Amino acid sequence: MNISLGIDTGGTYTDAVLVNHATGEVLASAKALTTRHDLAIGIAAAIRAVLAAPNKTGGPIPTSDIVLAALSTTLATNALAEGHRGAVCLLLIGYDREQMARWGFDRQFATADVVYVAGGHDEHGREVAPLDENAARTAILARRGTVEAFAISGYFGVRNPDHELRVRHLVEELTGLPVTCGHELTSRLNAVRRATTVALNAHLILPLRELISSVQRTLDACAITAPLMVVKGDGSLVRAEWAMQRPIETILSGPAASAVGAWHLAGRRDVWAIDIGGTTTDIARLRDGAPILNPDGAHVGGWQTMVEAVDVHTTGLGGDSHVRLDDAGRLSIGPRRVVPLCLLADEWDEVVEELDRQLTLPPGKRPAEAGEFVVMGRPAGARLSPAEEEILRGLAERPLALAALAGQRRAGALARRQIAALEARGLVRRAAFTPTDALHVLGRHTPWCVEAARLGAGLLAQQLGIPVAEFCARVVSGVAQRAAVEVVRKALADELGRAAWHEETAAATFLRLALDGDLQAADDNEIGCAITLRRPLVAIGAPVAAYMPEAAHRLHTELVIPPHAEVANAVGAVSGSVVMRQRVLINPLPEEEVLRVHLPDAPCDFARLEEAVAYAREVVSERLAEQARAAGAEQVEVQMTRHDRWAPTRGGGLDAVYLGTELAFAAVGRPRPAR
C-alpha cells in the first residue's frame, strides 16, 4: 500500500496523519505538543506516535510504504500575527527616501533597517539611474554579522530585475547570508507593498529553515525516505528546498491546508470553514470544494503582502490567547499568544508555588504582572546587547515570574521594555492565563496542571469580584462570541469590502446586539436583532467542540464537526497538487514602435504582438514546467490565459488603441512520490 504522511506544526500542537495515497482515507492520526525551543522534539514525537498508533490496516505500517511526506505549518502566519521578526536589512534601489517618509510608506517596510541605494528603472524597464554598487557594498559590509538576512527591492524591479540581481550577487559574495529579491516573489507593480513582502520573506527564512531541517532529521531517523513537501498559502505543494527560498509563500499554509482538510473530511463543498488553533482562528469560504484565493495578496498580522493565497480571515484568537483585564476592567482575549499556565506548571513545579504566593498577597500589593511568567524562546540568530544577554542567562535554567524578573533590575521600566523587545523577536515567550486554562478549571479539557489554571483564574476573578468558575465560563463564552463576530466580519468583508466594523458605532452596536448572549437576554433593550449565516460552518481544530456549538447557535446556522477534525490541517497537507504560476505583461512602446515583453529575467522587444505572445508562451511554459518539476511535480501540464486590453478611440469609430496584454501561466502537476 502507498501511504502519505501529513504533518502540521502549529503554535501549540504538532499533528501527524497517515493517509492512503490512492483513496485519501485516514488510516491513523496522532498529536504531540509543539516544542518551540526545539521543533524537532515535537515533530519526532508526533511522527513516532502516528507510526505506533492503531490504524485501519490492522497491523504495523512499514515506513517503506510511505511514498510522500507533506508539511503544513502556521509558523509563518503565527510569526507575523504575533509580531515576531528577526534582524533584517532591506535594500531599496531607486526609491525616493523623501517621498517614502512624506507619505508614511517607510512605516510599512516591516523592518527599521532600510538602506536607500541609487539606481532603478522606469515602468518600461529602462534604467533611469546607474546602480551605486559602492553604496550597496558599504551597507552590506556594515551589517555583516549583525543581521540574519537581506531583502532587495528595486523600483520597477519587476519590469527589469538587473539591479536587484547585481545587489543580490554582492550580498552572496560578501556575507553568504540568505537574500531575496522582490521580482522573485511577484510580477505585480506597487513598489511599497513589494518591498514589504520581500522584507517579510527575509524575516521568515531562518525560522522556516529550522523547521524543515527538524522535519528532515526526524524523517531520516525514522528511515522514511519519501520526499518532503510543504504546503503554500494557496493550498498547493512544493519541495522543501523550494519553500526554504521563498518562505513568504507559506504564509497561510496552515489555513490553506485546513480549508482543504475541512472539505476532504466533511464532504461539504459550499461552506464556511473555521479553524480554531492555539494561536489564531482562520476563517475561509469554500466554493465547490475549493478555497477561494485572494488575488490582491494575503493580509496577515497587519501586513498586506503580494502573495496570492487562500482568501482567509485570520485573527489572534485561540486556545492559547492571552486572557487579561484591560484598563477599564473588561475581559480581553488575545491577540497575543502565551504559554498556558496549566502547561507551564506541568513541566515546572515552582510555577504553582509562585502563583499561590501571588494569590495570598493583598490585592493592593500584587504586581501588575501577577500571574505572568517568561520562558526561553528560539535561539538568537544575531548579536545581543549585554542587558539582553543577562536576561536570557537568567532564563536559561527555568522560567521566571515576569514581576520578579523586572524587579531584579534597578530600572524596572527599562527591563520590561527589553523583555518586550526580546518577546517581539521570539527570543523569549510569555506564559499567562488562557482559554485553555479556563477549560481546565471547568473540567472540560484537563491534560495538564489544573491547580495552576485555578490559581491563575483566581488572580483575575478576584479583580472582577466573581467566583472562579463564573470567570472561566465567561472566558469560554467570550471565545465563542469572538469566533461568531469574526465569521460575520469575514462575510461582510466579502460582500462589501474590508471595513473596520468594530470601529463604526452603529455596526458595532448591531453586532453586539445580535451576537452577545448577555445583551440578548437583557429585558431593557429596545432593539432586538439576529444574524443568520446561510451556509453551514465546518469547524476544525482540537478545541472546537468547546466553543463552536455556542457560536453556531448565535449565528443560527448548521455546525459540522467532521471526524478527525482535530488533525484536519495534516490531512489537508497531503491533498494538494504542485502549482507554479507566472504573470507576463506585454506593453507597447509607441516612441520606439515595439512591444516589450517583461520576462522574469529580462525584458525582450518584438515588432508584432503574435510574435511576442508566441515567444512568451514558449519560454515561460518551458521554464514554468521546469520549475514545477523542481518543486516536486510529475505529469505537469501548463495552461495559459490571455487578456488583451484595448481602449476605444475618442470618436467612437471601429478602431481602438492597443494598451497591452497580460498572459497568466499555470503549471500543474501531481506530487511526485518515492518510487
**Cβ atoms < 10 Å from Cβ of 464:** 14
Measured distance CA(637)–CA(471) in Å, rounded: 57
- The pLDDT confidence band at residue 159, using thresholds 50, 70 and 90, is very high
pLDDT confidence of residue 618 = 95
pLDDT category at 215 given cuts 50, 70, 90 is confident
Which is it for strands 633-648 and 299-300: parallel, antiparallel or unpaired? unpaired
Contact partners, residue 286, CB within 8 Å, separation at least 6: 259, 262, 263, 268, 269, 270, 271, 272, 273, 292, 538
pLDDT, one tens digit per residue, over 491-503 is: 888 887 766 666 6
For range 249-266, the mean pLDDT: 87
The arithmetic mean of pLDDT across residues 460-477, rounded, is 96
Q: How many CA atoms lie within 13 A of 242 on its CB side?
A: 25
More confident residue, 373 or 58: 373
Cβ atoms within 10 A of the Cβ of 614, count?
A: 12
Report pLDDT for 410.
53
Higher local confidence (pLDDT), 537 or 80? 537
- Amino acid 421: pLDDT: 83
Predicted pLDDT at 576: 83
Q: What is the pLDDT of residue 61?
A: 85
Percent of the chain residues past pLDDT 70, beyond the cut: 95
Most confident segment among 89-93, 249-253, 334-338, 578-582: 89-93
pLDDT for the residue numbered 208 = 87
- pLDDT attached to residue 523: 57
Q: Contact 217/41 with Cβ under 8 angstroms?
A: no
Taking 80 as the threshold, does the pLDDT of residue 459 lie above it? yes
Which one, of 517, 520, 538, 518, lies nearest residue 529 by Cα?
520
At residue 192, the 3 state secondary structure works out as: helix
The DSSP symbol for 541 reads S
Question: What was the pLDDT predicted at 97?
Answer: 94
Q: Which helix (H) or strand (E) holds 3?
A: strand 3-9
Neighbours of 349 (CB within 10 A): 10
Q: What is the DSSP string of 397-422?
A: SS-EEHHHHHHTSS-HHHHHHHHHHH
The pLDDT value recorded for residue 397 is 84
The pTM of the full predicted model, rounded to 2 decimals, is 0.78
Note the pLDDT of residue 278: 84
Take residue 612 and report the three cell numbers written for it: 511576442
Cα 31 from Cα 567, distance rounded (Å): 8
In this prediction, residue 14 has a pLDDT band, given cuts at 50, 70 and 90, of confident
Strands (E), 50-102: 66-73, 88-93
Residues 353 and 348: their CA atoms lie apart, in Å, by 10
Residue 138 burial (CB count, 10 A): 13
What is the per-residue pLDDT across 631-657, written as a single tens digit (0 to 9) for each?
Answer: 999 999 999 999 999 988 776 656 788
Q: How many beta carbons lie within 10 A of that of residue 106, not counting itself?
A: 19
Nearest to 239 by CA among 71, 79, 63, 76: 71
What pLDDT sits at residue 519?
A: 58
Q: Is the pLDDT of residue 224 over 90?
A: yes
Element (H, E) at 646: strand 633-648
Residue 288's pLDDT band (boundaries 50, 70, 90)? confident
Contact call for residues 277 and 319 (beta carbons, < 8 A)? yes
**613 touches 661 (CB < 8 A):** yes
- Identify the pLDDT of residue 597: 95
pLDDT of the residue at 470:
97
Q: Is the peptide bond before 588 cis (omega within 30 degrees of 0)?
A: no
State how far the alpha carbon of 197 is from the alpha carbons of 93, 200, 288, in Å. Answer: 15, 5, 30
* pLDDT value at residue 377: 80
The CATH 3.40.50 domain(s) of the chain lie at: 88-199
Q: Which of 467-476, 519-528, 615-624 is the least confident region?
A: 519-528
- What pLDDT does 652 receive? 60
Convert the pLDDT of each residue in 427-458 to its tens digit: 888 999 999 999 999 999 888 999 999 999 99
Is it the case that residue 333 has pLDDT exceeding 90?
Answer: yes
CA atoms in the 13 A half-sphere facing the CB of 400: 17
pLDDT bucket at 59, cuts 50 / 70 / 90: confident
% the chain with pLDDT above 90: 55
Bridge partner residues of 283 (DSSP): 274, 313
Q: Return the pLDDT at 365.
A: 83
Q: What is the mean pLDDT of the chain?
A: 88
pLDDT band at 334 (very low <50, low <70, confident <90, very high): confident
Query: Is pLDDT of 13 > 60?
Result: yes
Q: What is the DSSP letter of 487?
A: H
**Mean per-residue pLDDT, 61-79:** 86
Asked if 290 and 310 count as a contact pair (C-beta separation under 8 A), the reply is no
User: For 223, left (φ over 0), alpha (ψ -120 to 50), or beta?
Assistant: left
* CB-CB neighbours of 100 under 10 Å: 20
Residues paired with residue 285 on neighbouring β-strands, in sequence order? 272
Sequence letter at residue 108: Q
Residue 40 has pLDDT above 80, yes or no: no
Residue with the larger pLDDT of the pair 88 and 365: 88
pLDDT at 143: 94
Pairwise CA distance, residues 632 & 239, whole Å: 5
Class of domain 88-199: alpha beta
DSSP state of 384: -
